[in-house]
Structure formats: structure tokens, C-alpha cells
Amino acid sequence: LLLLLPAALWGPRVSGALRGPRRRWPVPYRRFDFRPKTDPYCQARYTFCPTGSAIPVMKEEDVIEVYRLQAPVWEFKYGDLLGHLKIMHDAVGFKSSLTGKNYTMEWYELFQLGNCTFPHLRPGMDAPFWCNQGAACFYEGIDDAHWKANGTLVLVTTISGTMFNKMAQWVKYDNETGIYYETWTVQASPDKKSTVWFDSYECSKFILRTYQKLADLGAVFKKIQTNYTSIILFSGEPIYLGNETSIFGPQGNKTLAAAIRDFYNPFKPHQSVREFFVDIFKIIDRVILNQQFYLFYNLEYWFLPMKSPYLKIIYEEVPLPVGSKASFGV
């Protein structure tokens, strides 16, 4: 079973071989040695990967069609609503020519997007508490209606059973070491050549990594346009603040700790219309008027000196890959 269950924030040890230098931009996404056990406080409104299954071992001579799947986020609940904002979810589909069976593989949040993006401020705890996990899910079948109704279901390449099995080994590695969801891309300006301070790590990035792995294994992709959603924050050069212990621990910076908790407070779940509008004004005050944002990335806190246009959702073309000697681990 590929389903890797969620975990408490504190626990995984950063692999020394995978740790990146502090001032390299973008800051490298950290991979970890293992997933710690789930924390019972973290609960999802919708169950993660309810029908998840093991990735099958394909026969070497099999010919497997690979499909690009894309639909608006929460399409099952809101239809095309978020599609109008180009907020899309990505997945990849497979069809075996020998068995005729279809499969879907995707990567998404275990506790929904809000919990991955902002923490809980729990009574009696100084540090913000994060329910942030992402994982791959593999299951039999492709829900044609879901992907076709408001999105995309299109053949992008064909691969052999041998290539599929090698991809499956890579998926296991990728899923066991890349465990935290990162919502934001942070860059210096809307210009395409501007510096990227932090890169996101979400569903579309998993699909892009999967396509690249298949290309590295020899897959030849069709020449079709492929676009993906990114949520971008615009900031001057980020300032490193520290980790949970250095900020919120016994010898921590109490002034900074209070500022971070105060920043995150308006992002808590809302219980009334009045509270919602009060908090919206607080968010505008902090992010736009005072040009402040506190980012939690790689289990560390950073200060972002925000600048116009502050936030933008883009639906940008990323071409399908060509093979290279570079690979993602396996």
C-alpha cells in the first residue's frame, strides 16, 4: 500500500546528505529519512486516499498508456467554480494494454490545503502547531467524468512495463522522503526572470517530477501544451528567523514568538461572518499595509518583506519534458 499516513510536525531527522546551503536561492526543499507517526490532533474533513492500493508490478512486455489528468480543485464539491480562477489539481493516469485496467496516481494534502498553509494556535502551546503533510495516492480506475467534465484527460505518452516498474520504485523513494506540503512559491517580482526565493511543493510538482522521471527512463512525450497552477507571494529578500526551538523554546525570542503568533491568528478557521470580516481586515493590514509575511518552510521560519502585487495566482505553461541523464534518486 502506497498510502503513507500523516505525521506530527516534529520528529523527522533531516538527512545530512540532502541538506542544502542556507543562502542558495531558491532554498532547496528538504527531504527526510522517514515519516513520524501521525498526531491524533490532525484530522481531515475528507479522508485521504480512501481506496488506495499497492502499485502493481507490470509485465515487462506490457505497453502502458500515460494520461495527463487535471480538474478544478474540489471539483467533486464545487464543480468548475475554482476552475474559473485557474486553481487546478493535477494527477496522472495509466492504462495497461495487457490487462485493460486503468489506474490513477496523485499527490495531495492529507489534511486539506488550509492546514498545510497555516498552523493551529493551540492553548497551552507557545509554538504554532502544524498539521502539514502531503503524500502520493495510487488506486485502480480513472474517473473519466471527474477529469473530463471541467478539466483534462489526454494521452501524453506510452511506456513499457519495465519503465513503469522503475517509475514505481522512484515513487516510493519520492513519497518517503518528500513529506511536507509547501503551498507558496515566493519570488522577487512578477517578471519571469526574477529571483525565486522558495519553490512550492504540491500536487503539480509531483506530476512534473513523475513526467521527468519517465522521460529519463526513455518515454517520449507528445508535443501538447500543458499548464499548471502556482500561487505566488512577492517579496524582497527573505530574512531567516530560526526554527521552533530557537524562537519558541525556553531560550527563545519572546518578542519574535509573539509577533509570529499574532500574524497567524487571523488565518484561523472562522466561526461567524463577523469574525471572518474582522480577520480579513487584519490580514490586509499585516500583508499589504505593513508588508509583512511569516513563512514556515523546511521546519524553519522566515520573514518576507512583502511588495506589490503581494499575491498572484498564475496558470502557466510548463512544457512536457525530454529525457536527460539527471534523475530523481532511483
Give dist(CA 232, CA 312) in Å, integer.
5
Whether 306 maps to a domain, the answer reads yes
User: Per-residue pLDDT averaged across 2-18, rounded?
Assistant: 38
User: pLDDT at residue 46 above 60?
Assistant: yes
Whether 11 maps to a domain, the answer reads no
Q: Annotated catalytic residue: which of 42, 49, 116, 203?
A: 203
The answer to whether 19 touches 38, Cβ cutoff 8 Å, is no
Read off the pTM: 0.89
Structural domain total, the chain: 1
Give dist(CA 251, CA 126) in Å, integer.
13
Give dist(CA 310, CA 299) in Å, integer.
23
User: pLDDT at residue 48 above 60?
Assistant: yes
120 is catalytic: no
Whether 270 maps to a domain, the answer reads yes
User: pLDDT at residue 45 above 90?
Assistant: no
Supply the range of the domain harboring residue 273: 63-317
Whether 143 maps to a domain, the answer reads yes
270 is catalytic: no
Whether 229 maps to a domain, the answer reads yes
Q: Annotated catalytic residue: which of 42, 49, 89, 116?
A: 89
Per-residue pLDDT at 256:
98
Whether 108 maps to a domain, the answer reads yes
Whether 45 maps to a domain, the answer reads no
User: pLDDT at residue 189 above 50?
Assistant: yes
User: pLDDT at residue 220 above 80?
Assistant: yes
User: pLDDT at residue 253 above 80?
Assistant: yes
Whether 5 maps to a domain, the answer reads no
Phi, psi (rounded to 5 degrees) for 46 = -120, 130
Where residue 34 falls among pLDDT bands split at 50, 70, 90? confident
